[in-house]
Amino acid sequence: METIQTPSIETLMTRAVVDLSQDDKFLAHLPIDSSRIEGQGHYRLAKIFYDKADFEKAEDHFLEALKRTELPQDAFAMFKIYGFLIRIYSESLNEKDANKYIQLSSELLDQTVGILPSLNGEYFYNAAVVNTYKGDFTEAQKNFNQAYRKAQTENEPELMAKSLYAMATNAFQMRNYQDTIVYLNQLNELLSILKKGYLKGSMHLLWGNALRELEEYANSLTHYDLAMKLLHSKRCWNMHNYVLLNKGVALKKMGEFSKALMLFGLAQNSLDDDYFKRLQQLISMEVDDVNDSSVDLYLDRHNRVIHEKALGVIDFKHRFVLLEILFLLAQTPGTYYNKEDLAKMIWKDEYNPLIHDKLIYTSISRLRKLIEPKGIKRQYILRGKDGYTFNPRVNARFHKENEVVKHKNIANIEISSPV
């Protein structure tokens, strides 16, 4: 078998100067020296390791590339390196170093104003990114819009694509999911011309997340599959497990708990614990939320999903009163609610036997038919002399919506967002 000679690091670095990318074109007219060759080589190697999810080596090479940058000519290259490092530190929950480079990005933005002859699209894009780091999404959206308009004027299709993706991400952060879809549709049209596999994979991941929040679960799964296919074709592994996680969350919201757990397990078993600490944390929360074979009834109020272990997902659409009764009883198992309580807490009315007796009896009966498996003695809603109660011996679990919300990522960015 023929032996394949692997090029040395020095050879790879020398080759790295060829075919300057958009972020390097600012340097194209300058004489190339050995330090610049090494810097560009380290940068390109860092991006390769970053895509392959080898963040330790990526970090080393980004830092080496950063040592070889100089102002004013390397300002935008420095922004990119800072962005990669912030993403790595955010994912590894290294808040100290992430904040260090967020501060450096902010300082560099101020310096860049005095360097550039005029404020171009790239400047506004980086200004928006800095605002995103700080959590000022409204100001970031204004800057991304300016970057997009400038990119149109300057005929910079790649910057247009990045800006559209960033606007979609920003809208998602602000929970404007319909706006997210609008921006992604525009981006999809542009990417039909541009060959940007990583960006397209990121786009489909974000698209899946937006559709999931809009409760369009079947469509969201299609986009997760497209994201996975694109990332595999590009050999990009750094967000492979994020696709698995988010697809698993969509399946969980559909009540497909066994499938969701399988995807969570795949993601958990194939990640680097040292660098993917945030992802590990998110997966663990999702697993804890559903991974208990003893759970009889799983209740997700936010998404109106009720899963009974024998019946599967129970459809409560347009059954708002029944859902309110179930949550009232299930939140305080063993506590009895009489007719007066139910009339006041469910129907917001003073109890009137002529109105409420039949209404309460009918509602409880319909609720029992929905959640009680046939052929089994009533086990969820019990009646006693003091009213109705939820069986305290039943193992019911509520979706931990608030806990998931609390675990925000540092700098308000995701590993999946292109730099």
pLDDT range class, residue 407, cuts 50, 70, 90:
low
Percent of the chain with pLDDT over 90: 62
Q: Which residues pair with 259 in a beta bridge?
A: none
Quick check: 248 pLDDT over 90?
Answer: yes
Position 274 scores a pLDDT of 87
pLDDT tens string 204-243: 999 999 999 998 999 999 999 999 999 988 888 899 999 9
Architecture per CATH, domain 297-394, reads as: Orthogonal Bundle (1.10)
Position 293 scores a pLDDT of 56
Contact 254, 312 (CB under 8 A): no
Quick check: 16 pLDDT over 80?
Answer: no
Answer CATH for 9-292+406-412 from 3.40.50.300, 1.25.40.10, 3.30.1510.10, 2.60.120.260: 1.25.40.10
pLDDT tens string 329-355: 999 999 999 999 999 999 999 999 999
Tokens representing 59? Answer: 């970090």
Q: Omega of the bond prior to 72 within 30 degrees of 0, cis?
A: yes
pLDDT range class, residue 58, cuts 50, 70, 90:
very high
Closest to 305 in 3D by CA, of 389, 399, 216, 230: 399
Parallel, antiparallel, or unpaired for β 381-384 and 387-390? antiparallel
Domain boundaries, the chain: 9-292+406-412, 297-394
Average pLDDT over residues 27-56: 82
Strands (E), 168-253: none
If one compares 396 and 366, the residue with the highest pLDDT of the two is 366
* Average predicted confidence (pLDDT) for the chain: 86
Closest to 76 in 3D by CA, of 133, 114, 26: 26
Quick check: 415 pLDDT over 80?
Answer: yes
Quick check: 201 pLDDT over 60?
Answer: yes
pLDDT range class, residue 294, cuts 50, 70, 90:
low
Q: How far apart are CA 212 and CA 222, in angstroms?
A: 11
Prediction pTM value: 0.75
